[in-house]
Amino acid sequence: MVLAFVLFLPTLLVIDGLVSPGYSVQELALVLLSGFLGIAVADTWYLRALQLVGASRTGIVASLLSPFVIMLSVIFLGETLLGWQILGFALVMAGILLVTWRRARTEVEPDQVGKGILFALGSVFLMAIGVVMVKQILEVRPFIWTVELRLLGGLAGMFAYMAFKRRWTLVKNAFSDSLPWGHIIAGSFLGGYLSMMMWLAGYRLIPASEASVLNESANAWIVLLAWLFLGESLGLRKIIGLLLTMAGVAIMILV
């Protein structure tokens, strides 16, 4: 995230220059709060959920991001999905559940399951809140400025958390170890910079409810890419899930 924030600075200068973005105090507060809730708190809770209940359970709960965005968009933005779009949404969700569901999961203590699910639910709900609350600002204010300020809110929240928990030494020791910096930098560039820009651009250009459904399909593409590049298995259930997801995305785009 730090690298993404740094990369957005020259992008900001090239695209918007030093012109004032013209935010009101309320808009500025909403953008920073969106980053704090949707990045700092949500990511921390999501990682905690992964630690408690594992990737498969957390991944299934994470599929609720789209329903949460749709619900909040209907309540606060007055959006609706058309009949065919509802069918597309249902197909995407069915496909995601098929590709993420695992019969065999690591056994965990019952109290950990409950706590982990709550962290995952809270994380996904805060992500949805974070994007819906800046949807209208994304449409009327300079785009890169909004992305950068949202990242600033997320970074400020994470630094505050590390200071409160006194985790600076732990972080320093972690970065003192030998790390695959090439992969880390490439992942930060693709996932933190380009992906963040395109993800929020989708919410800027089309209704949030539609963008959330299209973004939900990422879980299915991960399965496909893992099969292509990492040699992971791709059984009949996952293939059906991918086909359902592709059909749902096609309906959302074409209708």
What's the CA gap between 238 and 103, in Å, rounded?
13
- Under a CB-based contact definition with an 8 Å cutoff, are residues 3 and 189 in contact? yes
Distance from the Cα of residue 46 to its chain's centroid: 10
What's the CA gap between 26 and 133, in Å, rounded?
11
Task: Report pLDDT for 190.
Answer: 85
Task: Report pLDDT for 178.
Answer: 72
Coil, strand, or helix at residue 193? helix
What's the CA gap between 2 and 171, in Å, rounded?
14
pTM of the model: 0.85
Task: Report pLDDT for 102.
Answer: 65
Encoding tokens for residue 162? 């590390």
- What digits encode the pLDDT tens for the residues 164-193? 877 767 666 666 667 677 877 888 888 889
Task: Report pLDDT for 31.
Answer: 96
Task: Report pLDDT for 36.
Answer: 96
What's the CA gap between 180 and 197, in Å, rounded?
25
What's the CA gap between 179 and 165, in Å, rounded?
24
Low-confidence ranges of the chain (pLDDT < 70): 56, 102-108, 168, 170-177, 179, 255
Task: Report pLDDT for 111.
Answer: 74
With both helix axes pointing from N to C terminus, report the angle between 143-165 and 25-35 in degrees, rounded to the nearest 10: 60
